[in-house]
């Protein structure tokens, strides 16, 4: 099994606005090792979220390549193949939770597994909600949950298809410090426990980043340094 789970090679990305071209990522080389927790830091506009979206096949780079597990190149995949790849291999945790308000938290967590045709989705969803401390909230709608509970539900949803990697964009950004710490405890358990989950986490907070194995600092679309 390849030790490197994700690798970018010379990735560049620009956007056009008002007739001008703004470079967000420039010739970026970035490697994520299996079972590693990487925190990506940088100021607003440094390219953090764009990098995460490219790693998750949500955006295409203008140049360069992304390789998964040492042999699967993103640029060789059709859009349909990318959608299946995202559902099967990548778990997303967003700052805004993105829970469907008309579904219960249990249904929200189970949904990616249902889309992926996994029959054991009921059992897996219930087990994950228990793991994140929401076993008593299965039938509640997202609007009946606190922000921290919604984020824990979002983490359970990200894990329901047993992904190879979790991509988390400011997972504690909308939460107070005490609730944010509980979310970090859940991520620590996933990373250091039996699952040994690989995590790439975007954050602007050095204290939050301190929970990761490695910190990568972006500035002007390039890696400035690593710790």
Residue 11 lies in a domain: no
Residue 169 lies in a domain: yes
Residue 2 lies in a domain: no
- 132: domain CATH number is 3.40.50.300
Mean pLDDT of 145-166: 93
> Could you tell me the pLDDT band of residue 45, with boundaries at 50, 70 and 90?
confident
Euclidean distance between CA atoms 162 and 169, whole angstroms: 19
Apex CA 106: angle with CA 100 and CA 110, to 5°?
Answer: 80
Give strand ranges (E) for 34-190: 37-41, 63-68, 72-73, 90-93, 165-169
3-state secondary structure of 216: strand
The answer to whether 223 touches 11, Cβ cutoff 8 Å, is no
Residue 5 lies in a domain: no
DSSP 34: T
What's the structural domain count of the chain? 1
Residue 17 lies in a domain: no
Q: What is the pLDDT of residues 211-224, one digit of tens each?
A: 999 999 999 889 98
pLDDT > 70? residue 1:
no
Look up the pTM and report it: 0.93
pLDDT (0 to 100) of residue 122: 87
Instruction: Give the distance, in angstroms, between the CA of residue 18 and the centroid of all CA atoms in the same chain.
Output: 31
For 138, the domain range is 36-61+76-226
Q: What is the pLDDT of residues 56-106, one digit of tens each?
A: 999 999 999 999 999 899 999 999 999 999 999 999 999 888 999 999 999
Residue 159 lies in a domain: yes
The answer to whether 56 touches 117, Cβ cutoff 8 Å, is no
Residue 174 lies in a domain: yes
Q: What is the pLDDT of residues 101-135, one digit of tens each?
A: 999 999 999 998 888 776 657 888 999 999 899 99
3-state secondary structure of 16: strand
Name the β-bridge partners of 156: none
Q: Which helix (H) or strand (E) holds 218?
A: strand 214-219
């Amino acid at each position: 099994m390849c030790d490197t789970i994700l690798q970018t090679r010379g990735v560049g990305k620009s956007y056009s606005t008002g007739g001008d071209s703004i470079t967000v990522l420039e010739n970026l080389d970035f490697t994520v090792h299996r079972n590693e927790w990487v925190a990506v830091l940088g100021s607003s506009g440094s390219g953090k979220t764009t990098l995460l979206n490219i790693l998750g096949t949500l955006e295409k780079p203008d140049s360069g390549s992304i390789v998964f597990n040492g042999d699967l190149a993103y640029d060789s995949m059709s859009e349909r193949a990318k959608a299946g790849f995202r559902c099967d291999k990548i778990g997303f945790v967003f700052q805004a939770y993105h829970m469907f308000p008309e579904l219960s938290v249990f249904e929200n967590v189970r949904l990616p597994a249902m889309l992926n045709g996994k029959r054991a989705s009921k059992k897996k969803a219930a087990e994950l909600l228990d793991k994140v401390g929401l076993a008593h909230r299965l039938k509640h709608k997202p609007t009946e949950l606190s922000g921290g509970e919604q984020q824990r539900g979002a983490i359970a949803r990200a894990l329901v298809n047993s992904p190879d990697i979790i991509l988390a964009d400011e997972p504690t950004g909308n939460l107070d410090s005490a609730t944010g710490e509980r979310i970090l405890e859940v991520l620590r358990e996933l990373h250091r426990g039996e699952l040994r989950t690989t995590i790439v986490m975007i954050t602007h907070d050095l204290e939050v980043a301190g929970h990761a194995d490695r910190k990568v600092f972006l500035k002007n679309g390039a890696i400035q340094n690593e710790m």
